[in-house]
Every structure is written in structure tokens, then in C-alpha cells.
Amino acid sequence: MATVIELPVEIFKGPVDPDWCPGCGDFGVLKGVQQAAAKCGIKPENLLVVSGIGCSSNLPGFIHAYGIHSLHGRAVPVATGAHLANTDLKVVITGGDGDGYGIGVGHLLHAMRRNLDVTYVVMDNQIYGLTTGQTSPTTTLGHKTKSTPQGNLESPLNPLALALTAGATYIARGFSGEQKHLADIIAGAIEHKGFSLVDVFSPCVTYNKINTYPFFKERVYKLEDEGWDPTDFHKSMEKAFEWGDKIPLGVIYKADMPTYEDGELAFKKGPLVKQSLKADKKMFDSFIEEMI
Amino acid sequence: MQEVTIGIAGAAGDGLDKSGDTLARSCGRLGLHVYAYNSYQSIIRGGHIWLRVRIGENKVYSHGDKLNVLVALNQDSIERHAGEVEEGGVVIFNSDKIKCDPALVRPGVKILALPMAKVTEDVVKEHGPLQAIMQNTVAVGAVCFLSNIGLEEPTSVLTDTFAHKGQKVIDLNVGLLKAGYEFAKANCQTLTKEWQFSHKKRPFVTGNEAIALGAYAAGCKFYSAYPMTPASTILHWMASHAAKTGICVKQCEDELSVINMAIGAGIAGARSMCATAGGGFALMTEAVGMAGIMEVPVVVVEVQRGGPSTGLPTKTEQADLFQVYGASQGEFPRLIVAPKSIADAYETTVDVFNLADKYQLPVLLMSDLLLSEHPETVDPEVFNSDVKIDRGEVVTEWKEDQGKFKRFKFTESGISPRALPGTANCNYVSATDDHDEESILISDMYTSPGTRRMIMEKRNRKIENLLKELPAPALEGPKDADLTLVCWGSTWGVVKEAVELLNAQGIKTNMLNIKYIAPFHAKEVSEILGKAKKKISVEVNYTSQMARHIKAETGISMDAHINRYDGEPMEPAFVAEHVKRILAGKALSLECTEEEAKDIGYHYLRTHALEKLRPSKLTKESGNGFGEQVWNIEFTERATGKTGARMLVGVSTGSTHSFEKLASE
């Protein structure tokens, strides 16, 4: 493996400044992605940041890299296609809980079970922000939102447990209030070979008055401070359900498993985009011969 | 021209497609032309399968109107199709199991009862008992004699087919083939004169195979799909050949994923394609607009089947034109094209990869079940893999001192050179939000009406140049015809033969096939149709969507429409008969025909588990208290021939008014 040459984080400064609300948790995540890319030494032309739709999905516009700002819920398949077409690109998917765990959750499950070598950073604010404050798949039970004025009736989805059962091989939780820690987790995710899910508490200061910075600051602790071993699946599953006064941050599970790319014959000759487009005449003619 | 049509009928799982394949490949090797159509149901075992194989000395463009030989693999098939065999034809069946009532066939039709056990006695002695499916090979042998194609090529086809199973299996099958051949020879005469075999070998190809081959020739590197009839066989071809072609073939969790992956691959720079049927395309529509606004080359194949909704999964229709035309919100350039034949499907697929790249837009290639699934012999020269590959304007190097790379530069042509991710100094975002030249969003904080107008016009300018590059439609047939038939897609072949039929009958007819749906050659089509004396649209749908599209684009209305929407493709005589009806000024009768009433009777028997009965006699009656004329359908017991039940079906509504059992089962 080539030596990693760290890059200055400034080169990832995007062409425009983010238009998120002042104090939005997504600022910290953007910085975390930029710091992680710099730490991993990924040149801006080799970094592809793919998002769906939502406040946090505007992130690709705020970073100096290639980006795809796709449809609501479709970041994962778009990223999958781009990644399979050019496996030389480092693909980081960024988006929100509505995008990833709501409208796009079907794709997320399948991407995880494929163990694709991509990183998915979910800015989880437990609310729909861009549409002005409706309930999301991770909204707490009983939380009163614009669409649930009597309180949310649906149990929140547990992204970490979901990722464990679906087959992701790097599962972590960060907090945009713990910026450096978050950058390290994302860097670990990018370096990990296989599907990485990083669920990030990224508070919505405008529409979620429950899951705020103080809410998390009082509760979060770092797994590595306790000498956590992320390689035991069943213990990780138990840990994924820890919630309440103490909420764990850090890499909850990590496994070394074959990736989808390892088994795909089409990559034997390198990334698809670098292969010749000319059909092999002899082979083509043999296909015609099959039908005679 | 000498031709012969063989029909093979049975249930799903009877293996009749393999029999048809042996016959068709043999003809293809001899230099004869074949067109086959398999009418089947969405069922894996059972049901009714009806394969027609039309063989001609010259090119045949449809499965035709005639039936010369019926191979019936079950009793049901005899009852349904024996009456369709033309005078001089033959009905073949295993007489150990099936009977054929002479009253069922037309005068001059030979009933060739094949005593399977006796005919295969020697083969069984040598090879042991036969599996039921092997008996089909005996029937194929008989057909080889009747259609006068000899034993040599069929033997070589079987030898190739079973090569992987060893000599013993080959010998067994060839033995069965010969037994059938000799039996027919001893009992019948051939149905055709000596053929002029050119011995030019032609592959026997389906439309979907042609599309897959076209994609491979064009350098497609990524193919994604979700299984859905009638598009699945593209996936099957792609998957079974992937180890050789090097194409990355991805079955996805749903059609949303399918098209979004294909577009992602397109953004990254791989030539990519996906395919689906109408229902899957409905899920894909949002992403079509994404490819439009991001200006991504991608090829989407939409194979139409009977709709709406799940509709008729295994039946043909041309009713998705409006869906495809209207796919996705907003306005954006895209190419919608409908190839007319298998050869055209190959060539069109190759072309559209270049057009998608050059104009950086989604291509929606429309096929239909008939075009995609029917096989025919195609001249091998059509499948030329040495094709032009034009990736359009791609920036591979950009120096920092060249300034900011503008992915969506406003140009005269509307085409902005693109750089693929990985190219240094060109970073940009492909966004679904509208954006400026540098791909900065104009949607959120600083919506700029000026920039919006410029980028809208830039994108849509591409279409003007694209239209200039596409060949305009032209009349086929006599220029000074009294009648012009207008069609699109697979109906081209049927209409082509209908035009010949009508001209032979003294009705001077020509035809106009529309291949490019968007952009549309409005000027050229206006000129042609403006001069046409009488215009009739011919479409396999209910609402004449192409006729409406032409009217929207040109203001020209058709004088009449010919439609079919019962799930089956049109036949040349069907078109010709309707043309004559229209010319005679007769209104279309929507009454339930005798044939349809019989079919409704069969449907009732199947759904009520009354397989012991069969519809035998139908009479039209009035004054029955149902407020309309009815078809009185008499059912007889298959075993005894006794009248078993009576059913009344409305002539006007087609409603099943009553079903009455007359005798104990």
C-alpha cells in the first residue's frame, strides 16, 4: 500500500459558503469530511461526494471535489453506479436521516449487504429540516412536530442496529459537537475496505428543540475511552441499543469481509471507465455463431 | 414466394419453444427465412402456449395469417387450433394420448395421428424409456418432412444442441427425429415444393438479444436491471455473457436503483444502459429528468407490454408512448426512439450510445413484447461489431491557468464539453437543482431568472442539432398511393406485409413508419401526410397514441384508426380487412365474435375447474331476457361427447349471463 500523504485541509474549501442556518450541525460534518479527505490524502479530483436531497444533501456544493447532488433518497444507487464505473474514485455519500433512513432506506439496506467499498455519512438531526420541521424516521417517540402535533406515534429507527443486521462492515456514530473525533471516524470509514455507515448527531437548531447540542453533550461518551472492542458482532448489537443517559460515540463495529468489488469479474481489467470500448470482434462473432 | 407456417401448441413446461428452435435454426442454416411468435401466459407450468414458426424463401416480416401444420401437445390444443389449419395442411398429435375429432378440421386437412409408442419402439429398445418432452422431437421430425427441409440440418442442429450432453443423448434425439420424419414420409406428402436453399446461414435472434448485442458493440460497460417481462431476457443475455464481454451487470433491488445506478455510472464516464417494462419505467421516471438536467448520457430501454398496471405481463401492446413521452417533470432534451425490427434494434442501440454521449442526454429506446421477444432470422451482416464510437466532447486535460472549468458552459450548440470525475482541475457538482455554467445552484438563495433562462435555452438548444442528425421518416411503397398507413415500432413488419397484400388486391397503399418520437420531424411528416390522400393509423393500443402525437406535432389528423388491444399482435390480413372495412365506409363492430365467445367459454372452464368440458357449438340467439343478443355456447364432455353444460354470453357486452350444468360429471 502506498504511503498516505496528507493534504492541507484548505484545498477542500468549496466554491461557495454553506447556506445552512447559523449553528447547524452540518457545518461540523462538512469540516469533518474535509479533514478526513485531507488526512487520507485524497486529491479533490479523486473524491466524489454524492448526496440526495435535504439541507445536509447540499454538502457536495460546499466542498472542493467532484459531486453529485442527486434525487431525494437516491444518493446510494447513484453513488453505487459512479463507484462501480470508476473504482479509482473515493466515494463519500452524504445526506440526512430522511433521505437515507426514510425515502432511501431500501437502497441503503442493499448497499450494506453488498458491502460496497463506499462511505455513507448520515447527518442525523431526527427531523425534516428543509421542509420546515416534520417527523423523520429517527424522531423520538412522542416528539411533537408539524406533522405530528399530538406527538410522534412511530418508534424511531435504530440506524446502527439496522446496519449491523444488513451487513455493513464499518459502523460508527459521531457528533458534530465533537468535531475532531468525528473527522477521525470519517477518515477511518474512508480507509475501511467495505461499506461504512457513519451516523452523526447533527442538531437542527431551527426545528428540533429536543435533540439539541446540550441534549447530546450531557449524554455522549466515547467508546475508545472505554477500550471498546468493535469486532464482536453480538456485543456491538447490544451496544447499538444503548440509549438514554449514556449514548456511545465512536466505531461500534468493524469487520474485514470481502467486498462486492472483490467478486466482480468486470474489474479484472481495471476500472470500467479506463477499459477499451471496442468490442472484441472474435468474441462478438462467436455470440452470433451461438444463434445459428 | 413459397412459405409454410408451423404451429406448436401445448402447455407451459411442454418444451415446445425448444422444438420451435430446432426447426427455426435448421431453416436458418439452410438459408430460409424464419419469423416466430410465441403467445404465452404468465405461468411457469400449465396454461396454453401457442408458438407459430413461419418459414419463407424470402424474408418474412410477421408470423403471418396462415397455418399449415399444427403440432398439438395436448387435447386442449387440438380443440383450439385444429380448425385453423388450412386446406392441404396437417394436424399432428400423439394418438396414444390425444384424439382429434374429424369434425374439428377443415376439409382437405390431413389428421396425422402419431402412435408414439409404436413409432419410437426401436429408439426405446436402444435407449430406454423416453421422457415426455422428448416426444416433441418426434413431432419435429414429422414437421421436417412436411416442410420439406430434409434431415441433414435438423440433425446437425440437434447434434450441436446436445453436444454438451454427449454422443448417447445426441443419438437418442436424432433417432427420435428420424422416427418422426419416416412416419410422416410413410403417411403424407410434403406441403411444399423443393426449396431453393441458399445455404446462407442466418442467426435466429430476438429483439432483446439484438439490443444486448448492440450495447456490447457500442462499448456499454455497465448494465443494471430488475427482472420484469418482457425486458428480462436482456438481463439474461448480459449476465450469461458478462464473463466474456466484461460488462458490469447489476441486478438491483428495484427500478429506482436500476436507473439511478445507470446514471451514476454515466456521470462517472462509463457507457451505461438499463432496461425495463412499462411498470418499471413508471418507477424510473423521476430519474429520467435527473439525467436531463445533469446532462448525463444514459440509455434506457422501455419494453412495452399490455397495461395498465400489471396488465397483461406476457402480452404485447404499444400503449406506453405517452408515458415515455411525458416521463419526468419539467422540460429537458431527450431522445425517444422506437426501432421497427430486430435488425433496426441492433443498429439503433449502437447509434443511441453515440447520440447519448454527443448530446449528453438520456435516450429512451422503446420496444414492445413482440419486437423484444420474437425471434427471426437476420442477415449476419447486420451484426457488424466494427462500429463508430463517438464519445462527444470530453475534456481530458485542464490546466489551472485555463481558468475555472465550466461544466455547463453556455455554447451555441448547447453542448458543453464535459470532464469525467478524476480529471484534475475540473471539479464540479452534477446537480438536480438548476445551476449556472459552473454548476453552482441557482435554486436556493439567489435564484437568478437570467441564468435560468440561459441554461434552459442552452439545454434545449441541443435538440435542434440532434433532430438535424436523425434521418427523417419516408414513405415506403408506391408514391402515388390512395392510402397511407401510419405505424411505429414492431407494427412496421405487419403493416409492410399488409401494404403488399392490399396492393395485390388493387388497393394502392403505402406506409409511413415513425421511428423518432422526440425530437420529432414535424416538418417532414407534415409534408408527407399533407399530401397523402387518406391516412389510417395502425397501432397495437386503444387510444391511437401515435396518431395523437402526430396531430400534436403537425396538426394533421388521421382519417381512421386501426387498433388492437387484446394482447395479441396484429397480422397482415387483420390490417387489410380493417382497411377494406374503412374504405367501404363500414363502422367497426364491437360485438363479441364467435371466436371470442368461445374463448370466454374456455376461460370459464379453466377458472371453474371444469376441464372435462369443451365448448362445442355456438349459436346467436335473441329474446332471452338479458336485454341483448347472446351467444348460446354448448359444452360437451370431452370423454363422452354428451352435452354437459350451456353458457350464455352477451353479444354486445361480452358478459357471462349464465352457466348451467346439464348432465352429471
Which residues, numbered 167 to 226 in chain A, qualify as contacts with chain B under a Cβ-Cβ cut-off of 8 Å? none
Of A86, A89, A279, which is closest to B216 when you measure between CB atoms? Answer: A279
CB contact under 8 A, B286 and A71: yes
User: What distance in Å separates the CA atoms of residue A266 and residue A83, rounded to the nearest whole number?
Assistant: 13
Q: What is the pLDDT of residue B14?
A: 85
Candidates 3.30.230.70, 3.40.50.970, 3.30.70.260, 3.40.50.300; CATH matching B204-382: 3.40.50.970
Q: Which residues contact B386 (CB under 8 A, 6 or more apart)?
A: A281
8 Å CB contact of A275 and B428: no
Q: Using the beta-carbon criterion (under 8 Å), do A277 and B264 form an inter-chain contact?
A: no
Q: What is the pLDDT of residue B446?
A: 73
> Which residue from B250, B427, B431 is facing A44, i.e. has the nearest CB?
B427
| Beta carbon pairs, A and B, within 8 Å | 216
* Common-topology check for domains B204-382 and B475-583: yes
**Residue ranges per structural domain of chain B:** 3-187, 204-382, 394-469, 475-583, 594-661
Which DSSP state fits B214? H
Q: Which residues of chain B have pLDDT under 50?
A: 665
Give burial (CB, 10 Å; 0-12/13-18/19+) of A27: middle
Put simply, the answer to whether B264 touches A275 (Cβ < 8 Å) is: no
Of B243, B254, B264, the CB nearest to A265: B243
Choose the mutation target among B220, B385, B420 for the interface with A, i.e. most A CBs under 10 Å.
B385
Cell triple for residue B292?
Answer: 436531463
Contacts of residue A97, Cβ cutoff 8 Å, sequence gap at least 6: A122, A123, A124, A125, A126, A136, A137, A138, A159
Tell whether A288 is within 8 A of chain B (Cβ).
Answer: yes
**Window from A99-103, A145-149, B207-211, B637-641 with minimum mean pLDDT:** B637-641
Considering only the beta carbons, identify the residue of A16, A60, A81 that sits closest to B222. A81
- pLDDT at residue number B663: 64
**How far away is chain B from the Cα of A108, in angstroms, using its nearest Cα?**
10
Q: Judge whether A236 lies within some domain.
A: yes
Predicted confidence (pLDDT) per residue in A185-238, tens digit: 999 999 999 999 999 999 999 999 999 999 999 999 999 999 999 999 999 999
Class of domain B475-583: alpha beta
> Predicted confidence band at A2 (pLDDT cuts at 50, 70, 90)?
low
Contact check, Cβ <8 Å, A275/B423: no
Are the beta carbons of B429 and A67 separated by less than 8 Å? yes
Q: Cell numbers at residue A149, please?
A: 402535533
The residues, any chain, with a CB within 8 Å of residue A110's CB and separated by 6 or more, are: B252, B253, B257
> Most B CBs within 10 Å: which of A19, A48, A68, as the mutation test of the B interface?
A68
Confidence at residue B625, expressed as pLDDT on a 0 to 100 scale: 87
Residue B300 to residue B284: CA distance in whole angstroms: 9
Q: Which amino acid is at B322?
A: F
Tell me if chain B has a CB within 8 Å of the CB of A58: yes
How far is it, in rounded angstroms, from Cα B294 to Cα B431? 6
Average pLDDT, chain A: 97
Inter-chain CB proximity B268 and A273 less than 8 Å: yes
Chain B CB within 8 Å of residue A106 CB: yes
CA–CA distance, B492 with B254 (Å, rounded to integer) = 33
Instruction: Give B526's DSSP letter.
Output: H
Interface of A with B in 257-286 (CB under 8 A): 264-269, 272-273, 275-279, 281, 283-285
Query: Whole-angstrom Cα distance, residue B636 to residue B123?
Result: 38
Do the domain assignments include residue A95? yes
Q: Which helix (H) or strand (E) holds B495?
A: helix B491-504
Instruction: Report how far residue B627's alpha carbon sits from residue B647's, in angstroms, rounded to the nearest whole number.
Output: 16
Q: What is residue B368's predicted lDDT score, i.e. its pLDDT?
A: 98
Instruction: Tell me, yes or no, if A88 comes closer than 8 A to chain B by beta carbon.
Output: yes
Residues of A in contact with B270 (CB under 8 A): 84-86, 272-273
> What is the per-residue pLDDT across B339-364, written as a single tens digit (0 to 9) for each?
999 999 999 999 999 999 999 999 99
Assign residue A124 the CATH number of its domain: 3.40.50.970
Q: Could you tell me how far CA A48 lies from the centroid of its own chain?
A: 12
Tally of structural domains, chain A: 1
Q: Could you report the per-residue pLDDT of A105-135, keeping only the tens digit for each?
A: 999 999 999 999 999 999 999 999 999 999 9
- With CA atoms as reference, the chain A residue closest to B252 would be A110
Subunit contact A77:B29, Cβ cutoff 8 A: no
Helix (H) or strand (E) holding B116: helix B116-119
* Separation in Å, CA A62 to CA A34, A40, A215: 10, 19, 28
Establish if A5 touches chain B: CB-CB under 8 angstroms: no
Q: What is the pLDDT of residue A123?
A: 98
Please choose, from the candidates A173, A168, A190, A167, the residue with its C-alpha nearest in 3D space to the C-alpha of residue A228. Answer: A173
The residue count for chain B: 665
Domain coverage including residue A72 = 9-290
Interchain contact, B430 vs A67, CB within 8 Å: yes
CB-based contact B272 A81, cutoff 8 Å: yes
| End-to-end Cα separation, chain B, in angstroms | 50
Burial code of B257-276, b = ≥16 C-beta within 10 A, e = fewer?
Answer: bbbbbbbbbbbbbbbbbbbb
Hey, which residues does B394 pair with through a beta bridge? B418
**pLDDT at A3 > cutoff 90:** no
Amino acid found at A177:
G
pLDDT given for residue B9 in this prediction: 95
**CATH homologous superfamily for the domain B3-187:** Pyruvate-ferredoxin oxidoreductase, PFOR, domain III (3.40.920.10)
Is residue A2 domain-resident?
Answer: no
Residues of chain A in contact with residue B286, where contact means CB-CB under 8 angstroms, are 71
CB contact under 8 A, B268 and A281: no
Minimum distance, in Å, between the CA of residue A155 and any CA atom of chain B: 25
Cβ contact B268–A71 (<8 Å) = no
In angstroms, the separation between the Cα of residue A171 and the nearest Cα of chain B is: 22
Tell me whether residues B290 and A110 touch, CB distance under 8 A. no
Residue A44 · residue A186 · CB < 8 Å: no
Residue B91 CA to residue B114 CA, distance in Å, equals 10
